[in-house]
């Protein structure tokens, strides 16, 4: 089993990443600092002492060497020593003292640098000194100019630097890690409250909502979106429960009718008109089959199932519907139409028009008008009847599943209330719309579908 390098917790991961980034930054900074600062500090000391030595060497070569040498700030001593080892001039603190240090200096005008431990000078304790030597040619012969500066301050500064680097860096990393842990925990606290609330929401109670923090940040937006999702889930669950209840009721009616007829026929077989009973039972079975077919098609549409599609001419579909309905109770008048290709399922598009015409037949008084036109990039199918019409407040209700208006129940007790909702679902699945428009007398249904214009 592969070991996870990063922890699962977001809080721990962010803390780990922040600490690693801080460690990389401090490591790089510390490395650069330790590589440059000691050399720079010693370079400053070297520069000061070298300038003082060169100045004294110039005086010696010019024969203007004073007996007491003036030392610049921070340079602790200067001495000029002859080739025989005699002190020719020195800084005030070394007046009368012998040569303090001896360095082999062979080449003139060349600077020799070394670090030596020297005895106490001025008020300085015995310690490490940076010594610079240079050979000068004086009127009385060769001489060596020595200069030195204590490295005590440099070593003290480097000691503090090492303490800050090797002790301060881990301390800073601990502070970064702790701060990140606390800040991320504070930021994720609303997320934990949202998670806890979601864990308690069940399918039996979708009325609860997650708390929305007043921070106005991404977590607040997440909580708002979650509540919107819960609103949709609650509405969907309520629609599902209502759909199941209505479906059970609609399926129970034909089944109950069939059972009652068969029970009566079985109880009084000799008095039963079996052909009539069979016809009534067959009609109930056909109604039951129609309801089940519509429920199955609605279920497929809800699940997003994509049936096999091809180019369908809605004008030809309308003509076929009119031909099949010749001799019906209400005549259907089809306006002349041109080819109106739509890319879709032939079975579903035929069912859409069948349901619209069935609905119009139930409500029409004398005629039904049917038209198929091409308007721009749309195919418009219009079904108009001259019945009682649909009140404006009910024009959306008729597309709800199992919804049947009182007028529809009075005219036809065999309807299921699924035809119009199924037709709208089919139109929507094909990228179109189905609406009820203003019309008098009667009702007018308009289906708008995308025109098929060939491969794009």
pLDDT tens sequence across 292-332: 776 777 666 666 666 788 999 999 999 999 998 888 889 99
Whether the per-residue pLDDT at 107 is higher than 60: the answer is yes
Whether the per-residue pLDDT at 67 is higher than 90: the answer is no
Q: What is the pLDDT of residue 302?
A: 65
CATH class name, domain 15-156: alpha beta
Q: Where are the domains of the chain?
A: 15-156, 218-300, 308-450
pLDDT bin (cut points 50, 70, 90) of residue 237 is confident
Per-residue pLDDT tens digits for 422-437? 889 889 988 999 999 9
Q: Identical fold at 218-300 and 308-450?
A: no
Residue with the larger pLDDT of the pair 414 and 302: 302
The fold of the 218-300 domain, in CATH, is Helix Hairpins (1.10.287)
Residue with the larger pLDDT of the pair 422 and 204: 422
pLDDT bin (cut points 50, 70, 90) of residue 144 is very high
- State how far the Cα of 390 lies from the Cα of 442, in Å rounded to an integer: 7
pLDDT bin (cut points 50, 70, 90) of residue 146 is very high
Q: What is the pTM of this model?
A: 0.50
pLDDT bin (cut points 50, 70, 90) of residue 74 is confident
Q: What is the pLDDT of residue 456?
A: 43
Mean pLDDT of the chain: 84
Structure tokens at 413: 């007790």
The fold of the 308-450 domain, in CATH, is Heat Shock Protein 90 (3.30.565)
């Amino acid at each position: 089993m592969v070991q996870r390098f990063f922890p699962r917790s977001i809080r721990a991961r962010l803390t780990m990443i922040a600490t690693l980034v801080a460690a990389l930054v401090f490591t790089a900074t510390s490395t650069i600092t330790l590589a440059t600062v000691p050399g720079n500090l010693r370079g400053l000391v070297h520069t000061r002492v070298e300038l003082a030595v060169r100045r004294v060497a110039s005086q010696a070569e010019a024969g203007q060497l004073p007996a007491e040498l003036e030392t610049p700030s921070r340079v602790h001593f200067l001495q000029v020593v002859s080739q025989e080892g005699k002190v020719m001039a020195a800084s005030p603190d070394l007046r009368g003292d012998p040569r303090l240090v001896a360095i082999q200096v062979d080449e003139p005008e060349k600077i020799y640098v070394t670090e030596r431990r020297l005895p106490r000078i001025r008020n300085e304790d015995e310690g490490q000194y940076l010594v610079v030597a240079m050979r000068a040619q004086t009127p009385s012969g060769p001489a060596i100019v020595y200069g030195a500066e204590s490295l005590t301050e440099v070593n003290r500064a480097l000691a503090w630097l090492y303490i800050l680097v090797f002790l301060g860096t881990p301390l800073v990393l601990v502070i970064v890690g702790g701060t990140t842990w606390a800040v991320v925990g504070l930021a994720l606290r609303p997320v934990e409250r949202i998670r806890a609330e979601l864990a308690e929401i069940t399918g039996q109670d979708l009325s609860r909502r997650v708390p929305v923090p007043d921070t106005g940040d991404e977590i607040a937006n997440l909580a708002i979106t979650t509540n919107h999702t819960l609103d949709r889930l609650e509405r969907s669950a309520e629609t599902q429960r209502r759909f199941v209840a209505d479906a059970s009721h609609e399926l129970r009616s034909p089944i109950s009718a069939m059972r009652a007829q068969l029970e009566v026929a079985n109880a009084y077989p000799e008095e039963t008109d079996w052909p009539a009973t069979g016809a009534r039972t067959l009609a109930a079975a056909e109604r039951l089959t129609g309801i089940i077919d519509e429920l199955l098609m609605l279920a497929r549409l809800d699940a997003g199932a994509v049936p096999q599609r091809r180019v369908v001419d809605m004008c030809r579909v309308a003509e076929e519907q009119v031909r099949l309905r010749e001799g019906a109770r209400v005549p259907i008048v089809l306006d002349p139409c041109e080819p109106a290709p739509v890319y879709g399922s032939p079975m579903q598009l035929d069912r859409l028009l069948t349901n619209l015409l069935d609905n119009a037949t139930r409500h029409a008084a004398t005629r039904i008008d049917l038209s198929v036109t091409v308007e721009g990039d749309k195919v418009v199918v219009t079904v108009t009847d001259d019945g009682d019409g649909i009140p404006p407040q009910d024009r959306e209700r008729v597309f709800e599943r199992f919804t049947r208006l009182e007028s529809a129940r009075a005219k036809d007790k065999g309807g299921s209330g699924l035809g119009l909702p199924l037709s709208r679902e089919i139109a929507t699945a094909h990228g179109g719309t189905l609406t009820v428009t203003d019309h008098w007398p009667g009702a007018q249904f308009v289906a708008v579908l995308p025109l098929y214009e060939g491969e794009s």
